[in-house]
Amino acid sequence: MQLVDQLTTDAEPHYEIEQELYKKYEVKRGLRDLDGKGVRAGLTTISKVSATQIVDGREVPAAGQLLYRGIPIEQLVQGFITHDRFGFEEIVYLLLMGHLPKADQLAQFKGLLTDYQELPNHFNSGVIMKMPSDNIMNTMAKCVLALHAYDPKPDDTSLPNVMRQCIQLVSQFPSLAVFGYQASMYFRNDKSMFIQKPDPKLSIAENILYMMRPDGKYTRLEAKLLDLCLVLHAEHGGGNNSAFTVHVVSSSGTDTYSTVAAALGSLKGPKHGGANIKVMEMFEDLKQHCPDWEDEDALREYLKGLLRGEGFDHSGLIYGMGHAVYSVSDPRAVILKSFVEQLSDEKGCHAEYQLYATVERLAKEVITQNRKIYKGVCANVDFYSGFVYRMLGLPMDLFTPIFAIARIAGWSAHRLEELINCRKIIRPAYLSVAEPQEYVPLEER
């Protein structure tokens, strides 16, 4: 490693690019304009994310909107909540098929998901339990790539075959995540391991809790909150990092398993799917520094310290606050918050819920007062989702995998959309700013 460190030190200056060059050549860093708007890279009918409205001919910030196939997320959630049913399977159908299912279509689709739940013979012992990782997202990526070997038509990119592969992955993701976690606990952490196959009578949300808990028991409210989280994380426009990854990789003509493994690698990052873990870690640090959760002056000073880079991880960020698109509100966070209080009452965590609500309110004030921002700031869905998962007794190692269990629905839809509509490989231009050099013979260097 000493030699590698020396090589890295020598190489690093040759990679650095002057920051002013990005402005000079009008390069959109992160594919975003300076005002935060994303550079238009494609078209989609799968979902829409918006946070502005036109008033007197001007575009102004507005409450955030999220639409799946043109239907507001609030209406979709209200639809299954009103009838006290689980909604994730219905949302998967909507995203994949483009329309809401009739009752018989939904029942048939749920049956198909059940048929595909079972992992291949000996997959648990032959793949999941061999070389288990301490990061379950890596385990899931390994498993997805291994499923290629069990597929009779792995490289067939015809639409029916890709649809079959996608539905199968939606069904199998919960088992890959939970079994991967159990293997990690046993082989890497010397804990007990128990494997419970999914129950075909249960919904995907119920099965996650059933497979995770030794007694297989859970309350109706617990399962409904987890189901809601899956619905809210199922899709978020083509411009998010992992969905764009699906489009880029699919455009090369590669197989479904390689595409989904790439998306998992994208989602794993703390700037994307791992954000709710950072929120949880930040709150644990806050509790140590502010033992009186009702002392708003102390909480406010702690948050100011975060912005100055003086606290927690010294990043200068208040995790869970702010979003690339939303400014007034994140509709997912608004919906989730309205149900979180119910679960906090059931779990005896109401005081902690109040802490979250207080920090959300104070953080908006502190950021607005201490940062020059081009748009408003609001809590995003990650602010509350980690709190929900912890109240459900889910380990932090599974927070991002649960995100993946939900987002495979959106990834699948984006893969089908890319295969149907686009015929060119996605290949954006990069401008070289390297200085010309003459070759120097080895003996003269």
Q: Can you tell me which residue has the tokens 């990005």?
A: 22
427: three-class secondary structure by DSSP: coil
Tell me the helix, strand and coil percentages in the chain, rounded to 5: 55, 5, 35
Asked if 140 and 133 count as a contact pair (C-beta separation under 8 A), the reply is: no
Of 338, 378, 337, 373, nearest to 360 (Cα)?
378
**Catalytic residue (one of 233, 247, 323, 414):** 323
At 278, list the tokens: 């950072």
The answer to whether 55 touches 65, Cβ cutoff 8 Å, is: no
C-beta pairs of 292-300 under 8 Å, 24+ apart in sequence: 293/351, 293/352, 293/354, 293/355, 293/358, 294/358, 296/358, 296/362, 299/358, 299/359, 299/362, 300/362, 300/365, 300/366
The stretches of 67-219 forming alpha helices (DSSP H) are 73-82, 88-97, 103-115, 123, 136-150, 159-189, 204-212
Is 382 annotated as catalytic? yes
> Contact, 311 vs 289, CB < 8 A?
yes
Instruction: Return the closest-CA partner of residue 193 out of 211, 174, 217.
Output: 211
End-to-end CA distance of the chain: give it in Å, rounded: 26
The first and second tokens of residue 276, run together, are 């709710």
CB atoms within 10 A of CB 1: 6
Spatial CA neighbour of 157 closest among 261, 257, 253: 253
Name 261's Cβ contacts closer than 8 Å, sequence gap at least 6: 141, 144, 145
Question: Is 323 marked active-site?
Answer: yes
Can you tell me which residue has the tokens 């990043």? 315
Paired residues of 61 in beta bridges = 52
Element (H, E) at 72: strand 71-72
Q: Which two tokens stand for residue 49?
A: 């994310």
Nearest CA to 242 among 231, 234, 254? Answer: 234
Q: Please answer whether residues 382 and 276 qualify as being in contact, where contact means their C-beta atoms are separated by less than 8 angstroms.
A: yes
- Using CA atoms, how far apart are residues 409 and 445, in angstroms rounded to an integer? 55
Q: Looking at 227, 255, 330, 382, which residue is catalytic?
A: 382
Give catalytic residues, as residue numbers: 323, 382
